[in-house]
Amino acid sequence: MDIRELLVFMMQNICSDLHITVGSPPIFRKDGKLVKNNDLDNTLASMSLTKEITEVLAKSIIPDDKWLLLEEKGEVDFSYAVHGLGRFRINTYRQRGCISIAIRSIPLDIPTIKGLGLSQNLSQFGRLPNGLVLVTGPTGSGKSTTLAALIDLINKERGCHIITLEDPIEYLHKHKKSIINQRELGSDTYSFASALRAALRQDPDVILIGEMRDLETMETALKAAETGHLVFASLHTNSAVQTIDRVVDVFPSSQQQQVKIQLAAVLRGIISQRLLPLIDGGRIAVQEILIANPAIRSLIREGKTHQIYSILQTNAREGMITLEKAVKEPYYQGKISAETALSELPDDEELKALSPLNNDYFSRELI
């Protein structure tokens, strides 16, 4: 079995992920759902994988230095490219004494905001001179792709020095009007926090942080935005309001009031997104968009984040949209099913009434 054949098959069938684990044939994720390769009419590898096969597959793509890291820590992230096919983000890890591999495909071409079908309101974030823009959502919601589209917009339109800090590097950007330096965690730097501190001495205009994971990274990101840089970062949160609370709560209680003041001053917007399966195949991105206007800044400073949702509801003219509205729009257009919409809005009475499963379904779930 050749892992490159599996990757070719993965791309030909427009699968987003490939899972390799002992005791199972290779499993693909297509349109958000896990499918076995025989469900995709493939006879390449219908047999269950053994410990020996998964180890050979892993060794065929893992660089020697990353293999040592895998043996030492039990897991390792890295990027992998196949000429003419694409790039892949790979996580290899040990489980029950065996090796498993999770592979996500990354297209060679950097998508545009329009090409992704996203709101053109997002373009304004790429044209900001400074401040903090956060892209949030669960794992696999397309945060990296949205960030790549925003960076590419800046690269096409402005002469900037852009520094990206990623784990691992996914989309490869070429110098256009801007120059872009991309640094990978593990290969080029030891941590987001140390790379971000160093970035402030590298004359950047724009900084992309692949993920804000800890207090030190968040603290330095706020300082970078305060000192005139445009900072993009991602977080694993599910809504704009939750994102604000998460950033504040990471800090000790003695610092939280000062952090609220800082965040209110530098925050420019929050994009909270999901990828939902379409009825006709494929997936669609739905996004809650918060734009930090004076009313929202005031609520952040005062710690009244629970009132922010009402501002999202009443400021559509400014480009804001709630997750509720973002999910319902494709549902009313017949693009997603009621069940898909309900998976994101389980308490919505209107959707419950419209669902073919109706309330009997929810009664069974409660039981």
d(CA 361, CA 90): 38
Give the chain's domains with CATH numbers.
Answer: 3-106 (3.30.450.90), 120-336 (3.40.50.300)
| Helical segments of 23-79, H only | 51-61, 64-73
Give the residue from 67, 77, 82, 104 showing the smallest Cα distance to 184.
Answer: 77
pTM for the model = 0.87
Q: Which helix (H) or strand (E) holds 16?
A: none
pLDDT tens string 92-119? 999 999 999 999 999 888 999 999 989 9
Helix axes 256-266, 240-250, angle to 10 degrees: 140
- 283 within 8 A of 277, measured Cβ to Cβ: yes
Query: Identity (one letter) of the amino acid at 222?
Result: L
pLDDT digits (tens, 9 = 90+) for 153-204: 999 999 999 999 998 898 999 999 999 999 998 889 988 999 999 999 999 9
Residue 44 is predicted with a pLDDT of: 52
In the chain, the DSSP E strands lie at 17-20, 27-30, 33-36, 75-82, 86-95, 98-106, 131-136, 161-166, 179-184, 206-209, 230-235, 267-277, 283-291
| Sign of the four-CA dihedral 348, 351, 355, 358 | positive
Q: Alpha-carbon distance 126 to 243, whole Å? A: 20
- In terms of Cα–Cα distance, which of 78, 85, 83 is closest to 11? 85
Strand ranges across the sheet with 267-277: 179-184, 161-166, 206-209, 230-235, 131-136, 267-277, 283-291
Gap between the terminal Cα atoms of the chain: 46
pLDDT at 252 over 50: yes
pLDDT band at 367 (very low <50, low <70, confident <90, very high): very low
* Amino acid 297: pLDDT: 97
